[in-house]
Amino acid sequence: MTLSEERLPRHLGVTGDAAAGDTAVSGMSGAAQRCPPVLLPLAAGDRSHGLCTDAGLYAQLLGAWLLPDTPAARRRAAGCGGRSVLLFLEPLYDAWLEAADAASPALAVVLAPNFEQLSVSDTAGVQRAQLVLCKVGRCTQLMRPFLAAINSSAVLLTTGV
């Protein structure tokens, strides 16, 4: 099982067809829209080597779709409510969090942070996350007390060592 099939959709109630990598849903125009199990927003200004490497790996390993930070992409993501999860690396984009909440049902929010990149201004976005994935144990050690301090109910998982 891949991380996408085993952990993200089942844990968060995602109903996408993991075997096919996406599923058809009815879009705003009534036409079928394809929805992958994972949507990953990436703004034009966020193109660091590490961030793009992480995004590429999630796209390959989870079947994630990388989406530009545009109103059209946010509307498309909102059409995948209940069928996809919204995966944030960093930063947490406010417009995408609003799109997640506007979806019906709301899109589940997953955070896979580099802990050193989080700031106090990200607290509201982190509180919105249902699942936090840490790539290394040190991130998990730092995130556990941080999540407790902000009264987050997010599940914390370590995906690496």
Residue 48 lies in a domain: yes
Residue 16 lies in a domain: no
The rounded distance, in Å, linking the Cα atoms of 122 and 100 is 16
Residue 21 lies in a domain: no
Query: So what's the pLDDT on residue 5?
Result: 42
Residue 7 lies in a domain: no
Query: So what's the pLDDT on residue 33?
Result: 66
Closest CA to 21 of 77, 62, 73: 62
CATH of residue 143's domain is 3.40.50
pLDDT in tens, the chain (161 residues): 344 444 444 445 554 544 334 444 434 444 556 888 899 998 888 777 778 888 888 888 888 899 998 999 999 899 888 888 999 987 788 899 999 988 888 899 999 887 777 777 788 888 999 999 998 889 899 999 999 999 999 999 998 76
- As for how many domains the chain has, the answer is 1
Residue 133 lies in a domain: yes
Residue 19 lies in a domain: no
Query: So what's the pLDDT on residue 39?
Result: 92
* Structural domain of 154: 35-158
Query: So what's the pLDDT on residue 121?
Result: 77
Residue 30 lies in a domain: no
Residue 91 lies in a domain: yes
Closest CA to 134 of 116, 151, 110, 156: 156
The pTM for the full model equals 0.77
Query: So what's the pLDDT on residue 32?
Result: 54
